[in-house]
Amino acid sequence: MIQSQEEREDASGTNRGLVDRIWDIFSSMKLGLFLLLLIAVASIIGTVIPQNGDPRQYGSLYSLYSALGLIDMYHSSWFMILLFLLAMNLFICTFNRAPGIWRQFSRPSLPTGAESVGGLATERPEPVDELARHVSELWQRLGYRVFSESRDGKHYIYADKGRFGLWGSLLSHVGMLVILIGGVVGLYGGEEGRMPAEVGKTFRFADVPGLPKDENLEIQVNDFRTVFREDGTIADWFSNLTLLENGREIMTKEIQVNDPLEYRGYKVYQAFYGSHIVAKITSKNDPEGHAYTVEEGDVIPVAGTDLAVLVYKYIPDFDPARGMISKSSEPHNPRIVFVVYKGRQQIDARAAEIGKAETIAGGLAEVTFPQYKPYTGLSIRRDPGVNIVWFGCAWLLIGLALSFYIFHRQVRAVVEAREGGSRLHVGGTAAKNKIAFADEFQRLIEPYCHTDRKGMEA
C-alpha cells in the first residue's frame, strides 16, 4: 500500500491537492474501521426504535425521531451516506492495494542483504553454491515457490507458499462493494407491488400500486387453496396462475411459498391470503338489513342494538367433533364461525352454513353469510440488483476462503561464503497463523540448524 502511494505521487508530481488529500482519507483503514462501527451502532438504534411504525406508537418523540430520520432509518439519507462512504472507502482501498498485491503475487522482491533477512544465521561446511542449491531444492520439495539470484558471490533466495491467500482480502472487499452496488440498484431500479386477487379474477400489473404503469403483463388466478394439516395448522398455500402478455398466454404455474413464478425479471410470490366474506345482518330496528364485505376477524355492529358480530373464521370442512379444526382442506361442509357480543360480553358462538340465515340473541337479529370468496395474496417484485448481490456474495465467500484458509508465508535467505564453508541467513514471516508457521519454519531450516548431525540429506 505504501509502495503504490509513492508511485502515484511520482506520477502526479509533488502537487498534492485536495483530491489527493481526500483520496488519502478514503484509503485509510481508520476510516473503514470507524464506518464499520458507526454502521453497527446505527443498526443497533434501528433495532431498538421500531421502524416504519404507526406515528402514535412513538408518542411525543415522533417529531424528533422523524426529523432525525430514525423512523425509517435504513432508508434515511444519512444511513445511505454512511453506506456510500463505506463503499468509497472499500473502492479506494481496493484500488490502492491491488498493484502491491499483484507485485507480491507475480514477482516478489528478493532479499537485498543479510541484514534484511533477520531471523537466524548459521555456519555450514558446504560451499555457497551447493548450500544454496540444497536450500532451494528442499523448499521446493516442501511446496514452496522459490526465486533465487546470485550476485557478488552471494545467493539471495525468496520463497513463498499459499500466495493465492494474498488475494483474499481484496476479493472479499470487491465482493462487499458489489453487494452494496446491487443493493442500490435494487433500491432505485426495482419495483414492488402487492395484490389480493380472488379466484377467477384477472388483473394487470399496471393496476398494481408500485408497478410500472406501462407494463402489459396480466395474471389470471385459476385456483387458490390453503392446505391444512391433521392438527389444523396451515401446511401451505397454492395459487394456480396464468401469466399473459399483451393478452397472450405465456405460462401457467402453481406457485407456493418458497416457489415463485418468474418471468422477465418479475417474480410473483405467494405472500399472504385472506377472504372477502359478505355478511348480511337484519334486526328488529333494521328489517331491510345491511350487507357488509369483511374479512376474518372483523367485527360488525348490529344497527340499533348493543349487539356486535365477530366474523371469526372460515372452516372448509366443518365437523362438530373437531371444532375449529377443519376435517380436510376441501370445502365439503364449509362453515363460518361467528361470535355474538352483547356489549363486551360474549353471548353466543356458532358455525353458520353459507347462505343460511342464523337467528341470534333470541330473535333480535338475523345473520346470513351469502358469500365466501377467498383471495390469494400475491407479491410481485422486480429487483434488477439481486443477481448483482449474489455475484458479490460469491466473491465475498471466495475472498474469505482464500483469506482465512490459505495463508501466505514467505522465507528469505542469503547465503554467503565463509572460510571453510558458508554462512546461511534465513528468516520467515507470516501475517496469519503464526504458531503453525513457527513449526513449519523449523522444518524449512531443520537440516541446517544441527551442524553436529551427520551431514545433510542427499
The answer to whether 335 and 353 have CB atoms below 8 angstroms apart is yes
Pairwise CA distance, residues 395 & 179, whole Å: 9
Which CB sits closer to another protein, 123 or 259?
Answer: 259
Nearer of residues 269 and 448 to another protein, judged by Cβ: 269
Pick between residue 100 and residue 421 the one whose CB is nearest to another protein.
100
Q: What is the DSSP string of 341-384?
A: EETTEEEEEEEEETT--EEEGGGTEEEEEEEEEEEEEEEEEE-T
Beta carbon of residue 454, minimum distance to another protein (angstroms, whole number):
32
What are 381's three cell numbers? 417484485
Question: By C-beta, is 79 or 203 nearer to another protein?
Answer: 79
Which of 38, 35, 56 has its CA nearest to residue 46? 38
Closest to another protein by CB, 183 vs 316, is 183
Asked if residues 301 and 308 have their Cβ atoms less than 8 Å apart, the reply is: yes
Shortest separation between residue 169's beta carbon and another protein, angstroms: 8
Q: How far is the C-alpha of 313 from the C-alpha of 322, rounded, in Å?
A: 14
- CA distances, 187 to each of 190, 206, 252, 327 (Å): 6, 20, 29, 45
Q: Which is nearer to another protein, 246 or 258 (CB)?
A: 258
Burial (CB < 10 A; 0-12, 13-18, 19+), residue 70, is: buried
Question: Residue 267 CB, nearest distance to another protein (Å)?
Answer: 5
d(CA 309, CA 300): 5
Least Å from the CB of residue 117 to another protein: 22
Would you tell me which residues interact with another protein (CB under 8 A)?
Answer: 29, 32-33, 36-37, 39-40, 43-44, 46-48, 50-51, 53-54, 57-58, 74, 183, 192, 229, 231, 233-237, 256-260, 267, 269-271, 379, 381, 383, 386, 389-390, 393, 396-397, 400-401, 404-405, 431-435
Q: How far is the CB of 174 from another protein (least distance, A)?
A: 14
Cβ atoms of 337 and 313 closer than 8 Å: yes
Q: Which is nearer to another protein, 197 or 413 (CB)?
A: 197
CB of 39 to another protein, least distance (A): 6
Residue by residue, DSSP assigns 12-69 as: HTT---HHHHHHHHHT-HHHHHHHHHHHHHHHHHHHHSPSS--GGGGGGGHHHHHHTT
As measured in angstroms, the least distance from the Cβ of 202 to another protein is 22
- Kindly tell me which of 347 and 438 has the beta carbon lying closer to another protein: 438
Phi-psi region of 265 (alpha: psi -120 to 50; beta: other; left: phi over 0): left
What phi, psi does 137 have (nearest 5°)?
-65, -45
Rounded-to-integer distance, Cα 359 and Cα 291, Å: 16
Least distance from C-beta 342 to another protein, angstroms?
26
